[in-house]
Amino acid sequence: MSSKASSGKGNAKNKNAKAGEKTEADIIQEQKEEIKKLKLRIETLERYMVLRSEQTQKARASEMEMKSKLSQLDEDFEKEKMERFHIASDMIRQYKALQKTLIEKLNASEQKNTSLADQLHLAKVALHEVKKEKDQIIEMKQREIEEQRQKMQSMVVEFSNMLKETLAKMGNTIQQEKEFQDDSTYNLVNNSRLLDFIPPEMIQNLKMTANNAPPSTSHPNITNSK
């Protein structure tokens, strides 16, 4: 009964509605369609929100992972930095120690070279002095040899003169002996005097010459005196 009444009222309203105006049913239909659209939009937004939520979670997880990796990288970097620092410090320490050792060796080598140079200089000076002294000794010996040679020449000349004088005296004595051959005592005394003028070396030479020479009758008294 009520539905009929309402339909009747609706028909009446439809009949009473002006041409071109929306009826209540049209409005309700539009509202329903609008509600459907809104529901679809809400569902779409909900799905979008779920998707965004998943993306956000993934992004947060990725962010956490990146932060973890970054933290690990920072830790590794600091660790490597410290290792490099220790290595660099050790290398610098070794370099300084090696540099100190090389400087000490260089200084020792320079001191040794200086000492060797001084020793070489002293050796050269000593050698020069030795050569100078040797030259002086050689010069002195040469002077002595020259003096001895001159003395020997002088002695030879002197001996030659003495020999000439002696021979001359011997000649005179021999002449005198010829004059006094019969007086043996006189001859003996005269020969003794003659021997006083003759050096012992010459007497020895005369003896050797007389022994080696053939017999001679010109100097009988001298042969007898030997």
67 located within any domain: no
123 located within any domain: no
Residue 71, token pair as written in the block? 């933290």
Confidence band (pLDDT; 50, 70, 90) for 158?
A: confident
Neighbours of 173 (CB within 10 A): 20
User: CA 90 to CA 110: how far, in whole Å?
Assistant: 30
Residue 188, token pair as written in the block? 């003996």
205 located within any domain: yes
In tens, the pLDDT along 104-146 reads 999 999 999 999 999 999 999 999 889 888 899 999 989 899 9
Q: Which of 194, 196, 199, 201 is nearest to 221 (CA)?
A: 194
User: CA 88 to CA 66: how far, in whole Å?
Assistant: 31
220 located within any domain: yes
Mean pLDDT over each residue of the chain, to the nearest integer: 78
The length of the chain is 226
Residue for token digits 């000649």?
A: 171
Helical segments of the chain, H only? 2-16, 24-179, 184-197, 200-212, 220-225
Number of domains in the chain: 1
Its domain, for residue 217, covers: 159-225
178 located within any domain: yes
Predicted TM-score (pTM) of this structure: 0.34
186 located within any domain: yes
pLDDT at 108: 92
